[in-house]
Every structure is written in structure tokens, then in C-alpha cells.
Structure 1
Amino acid sequence: MKNYIFKQLRYVRENTISCVSKINDESSLFIPEGFNNNIKWNLGHIYVVQEKFAFNIINERTTMPNNISDLFSTGTKPTDWGEQVLPTISELIQLLEKQVDRIEQTLEYRFKEAIEKPFTTSTGLTLATVEELLSFCLYHEGMHFASINSFKRIIQNERKNMVH
């Protein structure tokens, strides 16, 4: 029987993708007042962090196209992007769709495996096993999903206000 975390990773990812499936690239770049990032950054960041936690930290091969890490790693923000070529929303969705399958194929039998050097998150939580790394990804993506959902509502309200 597969570990419950795969079911949860897939559930959270499907919700994230469903939330942005009708967002266009222009809307995805909108940075609401008082915020540092946008929907596109949140999507790319979810992808980059999950690559780090599911693959990089345990010395597995990551799939990081072009400059994706430079654009979406922790500490980056859209105002620093300059003239860099950005992935489209559709390209980010494709990466996100394939990621959970790769995680499941690579880590299905490695949940209890201790990682070489425990990893401490920016918020101070120390993770020591593959299972702990993947479990943290659920929290991380859920947090960014909430941001994406809020940004989407702000964008929809902005459009309504422009019409009136």
C-alpha cells in the first residue's frame, strides 16, 4: 500500500493547479499592493522548493529547467527578474503536474530513510527523514496555495472595480 503522503501531495497539487488553470500570464504577474510577489512566483516557488526537499537534499537528480531556480528560490522576488525570460503559466503547470509522479516513483520505498545531514527550514523546523521532508512540502504548498487564492480574489475584485 502506498504511503498516505503521496495521496495528500497529489490532492494539494491538484488543488493548486485547479486554482490557477484559468489564470492568464498577464494576471499571474500582478503584484497586489503590500506584497512582494505574484501568482507566477508562488507557482514557481512551490516547484523549486519541492524539488529541493524531495530530490536535492537527499542527493537525487532534480529537474530544474533553465533559470527556474534563479527566479523562484527562497529570497527571490519578481521585481528582481529584470528582462529574464519567464516560464509561462502553462509551462509551470506542466512542471507541477509531473513533479508528484516523479516524487512517488523515486521515493516510494524510502520514507523512513534518514537523510545524511538533517535540514533546518527557514522557520526553524529540523527535518531528518525523507518522510519529514515530504510532509513539510504539504505545509509549504498549502501556505503558498492560500497566497495564490488570495491574489486571485484580489485580481477578480480589481477587474470588477474597473468595470464599474
Structure 2
Amino acid sequence: MMKNYLLKQLRFVRENTINCVLEMDDEVSLFIPEGFNNNIKWNLGHIYVVQEKFAFNIINERTTMQKNIFELLSIGTKPTNWGEKVLPTISELIQLLEKQVNRIEQKLEFRLKEVIEKPFTTSTGLTLSTVEELLSFCLYHEGMHFATINSFKRIIQNERNNKVH
């Protein structure tokens, strides 16, 4: 059976995000570039948290997200507030991100046109009223954070190169 284009795009975007950080270690993922509030680990976790909210919470589907992950990686949070709280390792985050797309496909493939009980308005002012619209917004959201992750990787690489010379 042919997968819905939106589900194919979600998987494509997610594979790009994961491939971008596959070789990264935890220490590198925690580096906060000058002038920024967060790091690669926060961006990855934030992608997971927001997609969990949009794919499951808003439509009253059960989520497997741990409460501490939600509290540490939601909108308005930043790594400097984490303190001693234990976060998943980067490889654990990658596993969560991989499994998430599978769960979305399994649970929502035949619910995409479903109108949600209460339309949801994003922090940027866009009102979403179907499962499909919620998931479609996740493509934009993950794309923004993917670009940030890529930029942070370049900054880290430049820092390393400058230390060598």
C-alpha cells in the first residue's frame, strides 16, 4: 500500500535530522554557541517533545513521553535551567526520534483527515484543526530546528579548526 505523502515527508525529515547527529557524542551536543540559549541536544529533544504534543497530546492519544523530558525540553526551556536533572543521552534521543515516526504512522495513518475537538493555535498564530494540519506543522517546526542543528555543527567545527591553528 502506498503511504500518505505527509507520512513519507515526516519520515524523510526525521531521517535527515537523525543522520545529522548520528556520529555526535553527548559532550558536543551540549555545546551552547555564543549568543544562543540552547544546544543540539535541546533542539533534538524539543523536536521530539513538540511532535509528541502535536501528534498525540492534542488529539488525546496516549503518549509515551516521560514527564521530565517534557519539562526540560518544551517551549521556553533552556539547558542552563536543567541543573542536575538527568537528560537522555544523544543516542537515547535518537532512538526516541526513530520510534516516534513509527508510532505516528501506526496510530494516525487513517486519521489524517480527522477534525480535532478543539482547534489548536500555535505560538506563531497559525490555527490547526485536523490531524493532518498538526502533523504538517511538525514538518515546518522540525525543519527550523534542523537548520539550527546544522548551524551549530558548523560553529562547533569552526571552533575546533580555530583551536588547531
- What interval of TM-score do these two structures reach, taking the shorter chain for normalisation? over 0.9
3-state DSSP class of the match of 1:138?
helix
What is aligned with 1:74?
Answer: 75
Paired residue for 1:63?
Answer: 64
C-alpha distance in 2 between matches for 1:104 and 1:124: 27
Provide Cα deviations, 1:97-139, integer angstroms capped at 9, x if missing partner.
0000000000011111000000000000000000000000000
Q: Helix, strand or coil: the match of 2:87?
A: coil
Equivalent residue, structure 2, for 1:23: 24
1:103-118 equivalences in 2 (<5 Å): 103-118=104-119
Q: CA deviation at 1:3?
A: 1.2
Aligned mates of 1:63, 1:47 — CA distance in 2: 11
Matched, 1:133 2:134: yes
Quick check: 63-72 or 122-131, which moved more? 63-72
Task: Give, in angstroms, the shift of residue 2 of structure 1.
Answer: 2.3
Structure 1 gap segments, 5+ residues each: none
Tell me the equivalent position of 1:98.
Answer: 99
- Structure 2: runs of 5+ lacking an equivalent: none
For 2:70 and 2:20, locate their aligned partners in 1 and report how far apart those are by CA, in whole Å: 23
Aligned amino acid, residue 147 of structure 1: T
Q: Distance in 1 between matches of 2:29 and 2:84?
A: 17
Give the C-alpha shift of residue 58 in structure 1.
0.2
63-72 vs 107-116, greater mean Cα deviation: 63-72
1:102 is matched by which residue type in structure 2? Answer: R
- Partner Cα separation in structure 2 for residue 63 and residue 45 of structure 1: 15
- Aligned identity (percent) is 84
- After TM superposition, the runs of 4+ consecutive aligned structure 1 residues lying more than 3 A away are none
The letter for the 2-side match of 1:58 is I
Residue type matched to 1:25 in 2?
D
- 1:135-150 to structure 2, matched below 5 A, reads 135-150=136-151
